[in-house]
Structures are given as structure tokens and as C-alpha cells.
Amino acid sequence: MSKNINLTKKFSSVLKVTNEELTKRFNRVWGKSWVEEGYELEFSNGEGVLQYLFTNELGVDAGSLELKLNPNEIMDEFNFLNFVPKGSKLMEVDKLSILKEERGEGILDEILTTIVIAAEEHQVDYCIALIEPVFYRALRAFYKLPVQKAGKMFFYKGDDVVPMIIDAKKMIVIKEQFEWFKGQDLFVA
């Protein structure tokens, strides 16, 4: 299957956040996006939190992604357990942000590929998230992710959100069928 590749912009790297300097850059990217959208800022740290910074071809910070391997906080507040089999390994997708000037330039492909790779590496059964309804529809219809709603839309920390579950096991099995999947060799520094 041929892949549609955006040749107008090539993202130079996906950086795993591992030090204070990268943490500051990561916080700047998602913080700026969240303030623009009117969201309440919520900082994370600790064990089981993976953070990634995405840069454009010029090395300028363009996007962010946070994955929580122990999503206890969101599990306690929202009832995701009614939608997944007991004992499933979960990963929360959070702080998925792309700066306004970089939107529509292909960075979401890199972010989604990173989610697939992390889910596979950590043997995740399901990914959970609270996302905007329009983004949910795009993930389902355009990106063809195996997603389902885990409840009704509601207002949360500045915007309407939909609780969403991605069947990570299925996503991993069919990853090569996704036109946006960049492959296992996606550079993660």
C-alpha cells in the first residue's frame, strides 16, 4: 500500500523529554496551545509519565504529547472501566498539542505514530483520553483509528470533551494499514 507523505514539511525529530530544558520546551508548547484554546493548565510529572516534543524541519518546537502509563487520576474521575475488560493495561493520552502555525503540516501523523509505538512498547491494551468532539470524529473517520466513545460529551476544564477509548491491541495489529503511520524507525531521540 502506498503512503501519502507530506513533502512540503518534514519534521526533524521526535524528542523524548528527559531533562529540565526539554521539560521547559514541552511545557511551553502545550501551555501555549492550551491557553489559546481556553483550557485550564494542568502540569504532570512522576513515574509512568512519558512526554514527547515534536520539532519541525527547522528544529523549532511544533507539538507535544504526554502518555501516562498509570492513568489513575482520570480513571478515578471518569468511569472508563465500564468500557474495557477487567485487568486491561491502560495508557492515557494527554497534552496532545500542535502549535497553530504548525497545524495541517503533517505533525499529527508523527504524534499518532508515537502513540502506536509507545502502546506497542508498553504492551497497552487500550488508550484513554478526553478529547474535543471534532477531533474525535477526525480520529475515527479520517485517521481510521479503532476508537469508541466512553460516555457523553461534557464540559471539562475549558471545553466540551468526549471520553474516548482506542483499542490499542487492534491499532497495533493494523498499524501498517494506516496511511499516516511513519513506521518503527520514526526517530525518537
Q: How far is CA 181 from CA 97, 126, 174, in A?
A: 18, 18, 10
On the question of pLDDT at 187 being above 70, the answer is no
What is the per-residue pLDDT across 34-51, written as a single tens digit (0 to 9) for each?
Answer: 888 878 788 887 788 999
Using pLDDT thresholds of 50, 70 and 90, give the confidence band for residue 4: very low
- Into which CATH architecture does domain 13-177 fall? 3-Layer(aba) Sandwich (3.40)
Q: What is the pLDDT of residue 11?
A: 57
65 with 93: CB under 8 angstroms?
A: yes
Q: What is the pLDDT of residue 70?
A: 86
Q: How far is CA 73 from CA 18, 25, 51, 88, 119, in A?
A: 23, 24, 17, 16, 19
What is the per-residue pLDDT across 25-84, written as a single tens digit (0 to 9) for each?
Answer: 999 999 998 888 878 788 887 788 999 999 988 889 999 999 999 887 777 677 787 888
Domain borders along the chain are: 13-177
